[in-house]
Structure 1
Amino acid sequence: MGLTSKFMRTEKPVRSAREYLRNRSRGLRCDRPPVFIVGCGHSGTSLMLRIVDMHSSIYGVPFESRVLLRSRFKIRMAEALWRKNAVAAAKRRWAEKTPAHVYCIDRIFRIWPQARVILMRRDGRDVAVSLRERWGDFDRAVHRWIEDNRAGDAWCGDPRVFELRYEDLVRDFEPRMREVMTFLGERFEEGLADFHTQTTVYGGESAGIRKQPDLPPNRALRKAQLRNPLYDGSGRWRDEMSADEKCRFKERAGDLLIDLGYAGDLNW
């Protein structure tokens, strides 16, 4: 689906245009660097977008654009749209979440040298069982976790990139989000944890309580996560990973799991 059709599906252009003109007349501008949320899928990227969207200065783009995989013209078209929507929402910067943009961090900084990137990490065992439920292919899930995290490794240490573990976010929310806001140059706001109270449409799904058709399990789980108060969804691999899958994971991704600090050895 193209960028324009996604926008028409998730936004209300007439209302946005009216509010955009009103806020522009009041002197509001989208004048702060953009924020990109990247990482392996099913690592908390959707959750992070919903949280930062609660901030009074940050507009969360309500779909995965994958725009950095497209032409420079489409990138600039998207940027103009998101800047307008940020002003329409009375906010001064925009944040976009596409996990696959972890492969485009160099391009992000070529286009927006002052951009900020939040790199989400998560225990690969939990990611593997989650993606396996989505795809029906455990080995493909493990491969993606390895490749996406290796792509992010190249940018660790860059002051424009903030590395955040899903587990730290859900278990120690306020201290971690204070660090994120300091990194973004924004003040911490108490209402960030209230993301589940919003009814914003994200990715074609309402995060609120409106009734919707039956969703695939992975999308239903994401919706439930976004509409409920923050909870710790880690450790599911202990009940859902078979003995054979554990062996396969250790063989292919065990070293990376240790490198990222999720295990001290392979005796699990």
Structure 2
Amino acid sequence: MNNLFKAHVTNPIVNFFGKRKAARKFSASPVLIGGCGRSGTTLLLSILSAHPSIFALPKETNVFSIWKKGENPYGNGKDYFYPERIDRLYRYVLSKSIPGSVTRWCEKSPPNVRYLDKIFTYFNDEVRFIHIIRDGRDVMTSRHPEKPDDFWVSPERWVNDVRMGLAYADHPCVLTIRYEDLIQDHEKTLRTICEFLGEAYTEAFKDWFENASVRRNQAWYKPLQKLHSGSVQKWTKPEFKARIEEVLAYPGVRELMEELGYLPGGE
């Protein structure tokens, strides 16, 4: 009964008032971040949250992972799906005080990368998507904090998620960046992102750690940390030797690593 009441009464009310507030507060296209887990999506969200024009949702809503077929309001003949739990986003909008400098919202959930076709149709291409990629060896040697004997990301997931994002690499609403560039060429990468978003680069990025509004996230199991080069090429540690041999033997991993330039051909 509670779920029915929520679906048919509470959520529609939240959507109605949330959409009205969003229309008043946000004038620019929303920003979505996605990519394979452990690729730096949360770090990117935290950094972007330092921009005065961006209202960053601090929690993964997975709004754009649950879709329902509906009537296309744009009349362009495309199959149309809408996010069934868009109320999750609007609850944040309604519950937070949004600064006057803000012009757009930003949401990060890694699985966003799997639903780009539906996302672009839903927003009628009035959205900006940032796909972040990381060396698969670092991704697949990341251990799960709650299960220290387990690795967080499987080779299958890494290949599939990265491929899904790369399929839209040439789409005008997509920017593909690398985690390593975000760490090692920080300012240049952020200037590229700002240009893609049509935003001015902000000096707040130079002190993003102090200016970030997103300081905690369920993807982190410790407080926000400053950028450090130790997060790049962690896979070279001797303890990961067997894991690296395992993942490189998985179908599609070596080919994708070579394609992305992380692994020289024939290595």
**TM-score normalised to structure 1 length:** 0.75
Q: What does 1:204-215 align with in structure 2 at a 5 Å threshold? A: none
- What's the CA shift for 1:240? 5.1
Provide the secondary structure at the position in 1 that maps to 2:189: helix
List gaps (5 residues or longer) in structure 2. 4-19, 68-81
Q: Which amino acid letter does the alignment assign opposite residue 31 of structure 1?
A: S
Q: Which amino acid letter does the alignment assign opposite residue 150 of structure 1?
A: R
- Cα distance change on mapping 1:200 and 1:150 into 2, 3 Å: closer
List gaps (5 residues or longer) in structure 1. 3-19, 206-217
Conserved? CA contact 2:64–2:83, under 8 Å? no
- What's the CA shift for 1:126? 0.4
**CA separation in 2, counterparts of 1:96 and 1:237?**
29
Conserved? CA contact 1:28–1:87, under 8 Å? no
Q: Which amino acid letter does the alignment assign opposite residue 132 of structure 2?
A: M
Q: Which residue number in structure 1 is paired with residue 216 of structure 2?
A: 202
Q: Which residue number in structure 1 is paired with residue 261 of structure 2?
A: 261
Conserved? CA contact 1:44–1:120, under 8 Å? yes
Conserved? CA contact 1:86–1:94, under 8 Å? no
Q: Which amino acid letter does the alignment assign opposite residue 157 of structure 2?
A: R
- Cα distance change on mapping 1:200 and 1:158 into 2, 3 Å: closer
**CA separation in 1, counterparts of 2:162 and 2:242?**
23
Alignment partner of 1:127 is 2:139: yes
- Cα distance change on mapping 1:139 and 1:92 into 2, 3 Å: closer
**TM-score normalised to structure 2 length:** 0.75
Q: Which residue number in structure 2 is paired with residue 219 of structure 1?
A: 221
Q: Which has the higher contact order (CA 8 A, sep 6+)?
A: 2
Alignment partner of 1:35 is 2:49: no
**CA separation in 2, counterparts of 1:43 and 1:111?**
26
- Of 85, 88, 95, the residue aligned with 2:106 is 95
CA deviations on 1:10-44 (whole Å, 9 max, x unpaired) are xxxxxxxxxx99xx9xx963111100000011111
**CA separation in 2, counterparts of 1:187 and 1:76?**
29
- Cα distance change on mapping 1:189 and 1:239 into 2, 3 Å: same
Q: Which has the higher helix share?
A: 1
Q: What does 1:1-268 align with in structure 2 at a 5 Å threshold? A: 29-71=25-67, 72=82, 74-84=84-94, 88-90=98-100, 91-112=102-123, 113-131=125-143, 136-138=149-151, 141-197=154-210, 198=212, 200=214, 202-203=216-217, 219-220=221-222, 223=223, 226=224, 228-232=225-229, 233-239=231-237, 241-252=239-250, 253-267=253-267
The count of corresponding residues between Structure 1 and Structure 2 is: 229
- Cα distance change on mapping 1:240 and 1:98 into 2, 3 Å: farther
**CA separation in 1, counterparts of 2:189 and 2:96?**
25
* Root-mean-square deviation over aligned CA pairs: 3.0
- Cα distance change on mapping 1:199 and 1:31 into 2, 3 Å: closer
**CA separation in 2, counterparts of 1:104 and 1:250?**
27
Conserved? CA contact 2:143–2:152, under 8 Å? no
- What's the CA shift for 1:237? 0.3
